[in-house]
Structure 1
Amino acid sequence: MSESDKPLFTQHEHALEKEYQVCPDCGSELTIKHGKSGTFLGCVNYPNCQYTRAVVEHERVEDKPLPGSECPLCSHVLAVKQGRYGMFIGCSNFPQCHHIEHEAQELIQNVVCPSCKHGSLQEKTSRFGKKFYSCDAYPKCKFVVNHEPVEGQCEKCQFPLLLKRNMAAGIKYQCADKKCSHMQKLL
């Protein structure tokens, strides 16, 4: 076999192929499967056997105390912790104390919520890193928009809030009322 006829990877060198793996529950073979949460190893005897395991085991990060910090609720030291949505700062006295440090949410030019007319809209970040704007009176008011809110009135329906949209033709303002969604160029 010439050098150019050899496969790029041999069977034992392939990145996802592992040695023959056995299900610890039923003794059947484990195979790579794909689901809505990503790739995982699952038993070929499914649905009779429900065993699954992550393809890549993520290393668990131990809590790291922050010297000189203090929990405002119980006065214990704050620590950097790992949660289901990533890293965060929380009280080292968990589960007795449930304090978590939150980033200061910035109010958007004191734009009043058009739904409850009491709260103000503030910028937040979803667990996926996307920005959105919601009423600070949550959970009483569940008003939320995905684009930057601007004080103004829709010229078509008179809804008291516009959304700043950066379009190919330049910046336009869209009515925040989902029933209207009228686009206008000027405030």
Structure 2
Amino acid sequence: MSKIDPSLFSGLPSAQPGEACPRCGAALQLRHGKHGAFLGCSAYPDCDYLRPLKVIEHDDDVEKPLEGSVCPLCGHTLAIRKGRYGLFIGCSHYPACHYVADINDQGNGDPACPVCSKGHLVARTSRYGKRFYACDAYPGCRYIINDKPVAKTCPDCGFGILTERKGRLCCPQKGCGYQQ
């Protein structure tokens, strides 16, 4: 019989021997699942209480607070955050405030949609990280382009926008070959 307690070297906090289940009063045991270790009730089929060992916090995704910037919704400071689709600007008071801004937005005016004339072409990022421009009146208008739009009309066909492609202005309308 070994004199060393194996729970000292497991790297995980173990349940204290006297700790009881808050639902039924039975002892809690250290269990292992596909997502890691957790504490579960020893009277499992009758009581399904479990508690994770790690506490999940929302502050892990905060990269850097932006000094001098204020959230327009709640007044707290804004921060550069890391999310599922890359970096973005969000409120530092996250669970209470859900303000989000695009990190690539320079604040210049978005050109009007040439198809519906109701919405504007705004920059979006796909789940693969590719940039595209789509109408913000989305369910009603599904216009989308890959190149950056410029708010100038085409002199040849009169289409509402031109696109910036390889340093030149081009007409995105099919059949029109205008380039500047």
Q: Normalized against structure 2, the TM-score is what?
A: 0.46
Highest CA radius of gyration, 1 or 2? 2
For CA contacts below 8 A with separation 6 or more, give which structure has more relative contact order: 2
Q: Normalized against structure 1, the TM-score is what?
A: 0.44
